[in-house]
Amino acid sequence: MNIGTGGADLSSSFFLPKLVGWGKAAEMCLTGERVPAGEAYRIGLVNHVHPREDLLPAAKAMARVMCSKNKFGLRMTKDAFNAALNGSSLEDANRMEDRNQALIIANAITEGAKDLG
């Protein structure tokens, strides 16, 4: 965090309170104190903690898993998560998921047909 130059930056004032709660986000931004890895994991700021020497292999392993998935499906999932983060209602989220499932199935059929031709 860049303390003393006009507040939070890099959209942290938008995302951070949603991720760790208003109080923790305010503490982090107003003090600029570093968050130890264990605490960052505990509060949901990071998903995994690895020793430095294991970090790149762990990241590559996760990337391999993601790359093995349907790319269109991954994009639709990210779109749904981003819409929810931006304040969509439960009903909006359900409609988007229904739409995305139909699009994913249609995309799979189209891609499968390309493989046959």
Residues 49 and 78 in one domain: no
Does 5 map to a domain? Answer: no
- Positions of the chain with pLDDT under 50: 1, 4-5
Q: Give the pLDDT of residue 43.
A: 95
Does 79 map to a domain? Answer: yes
Residues 104 and 77 in one domain: yes
User: Alpha-carbon torsion 14, 19, 22, 23, what sign?
Assistant: negative
Match 């988007």 to its residue by tokens: 96
Q: Model's pTM, two decimal places?
A: 0.69
Return left, alpha or beta for 11; rule: phi > 0 is left, psi -120 to 50 is alpha, else beta: left
Q: Please provide residue 115's backbone torsions phi and psi, each rounded to the nearest 5 degrees.
A: -65, -30
Asked if 47 and 19 touch (Cβ cutoff 8 Å), the reply is no
* Domain limits for position 89: 69-116
Q: Give the pLDDT of residue 116.
A: 52
Report the domain count for the chain.
2
